[in-house]
């Protein structure tokens, strides 16, 4: 990923990043941001990057578990967890 100029963006606080990905991965990203209700690919990627920076202790395995739980809940098959239970899971994973 390389940093480039602001690309004409009116906000002096932002910068444009260039990212190389495969066409298939880009299709997956586009499907994900649309399915999740984001207004743009950029908004989706900003949130994903922010989550990675703000929650570096979140392992890929833990995120996969969360995604699987979310999927099960949407199908009416999952269970919910309270805040304390989630914090304990994060602490155990670190």
pLDDT tens-place string over residues 72-87: 888 888 777 778 887 8
**Phi and psi at residue 93, to the nearest 5°:** -75, -25
Q: What is the DSSP track for the chain?
A: -EE---TT-S-TT---EE----HHHHHHHHHHHHHTT-S-HHHHHHHHHHHHHH-TT--HHHHHHHHHHHHHHHTT------HHHHHHHHHHH-
Residues of the chain with pLDDT > 90, as a percent, come to 29
Q: What's the whole-number mean pLDDT along residues 17-30?
A: 94
CA distance 46 to 51: 9
- Structure confidence at residue 94 (pLDDT): 54
- Structure confidence at residue 4 (pLDDT): 40
* pLDDT at residue 15 tops 50: yes
* pLDDT at residue 56 tops 60: yes
CA distance 57 to 69: 19
pTM of structure:
0.52
Using CA atoms of 10, 16, 22, 25 in order, give the dihedral in degrees to the nearest 10: -60
CA distance 3 to 57: 25
* pLDDT at residue 6 tops 60: no
Residues of the chain with pLDDT > 70, as a percent, come to 86
């Amino acid at each position: 990923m390389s940093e480039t100029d602001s690309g004409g963006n009116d906000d002096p606080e932002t910068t444009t990043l260039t990212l190389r990905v495969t066409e298939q991965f880009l299709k997956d990203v586009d499907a994900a941001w649309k399915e999740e209700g984001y207004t743009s690919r950029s908004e989706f990627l900003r949130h994903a990057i922010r989550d990675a920076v703000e929650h570096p202790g979140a392992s890929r395995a833990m995120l996969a578990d969360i995604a699987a739980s979310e999927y099960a809940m949407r199908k009416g098959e999952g269970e919910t967890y309270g805040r304390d239970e989630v914090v304990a899971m994060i602490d155990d994973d670190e």
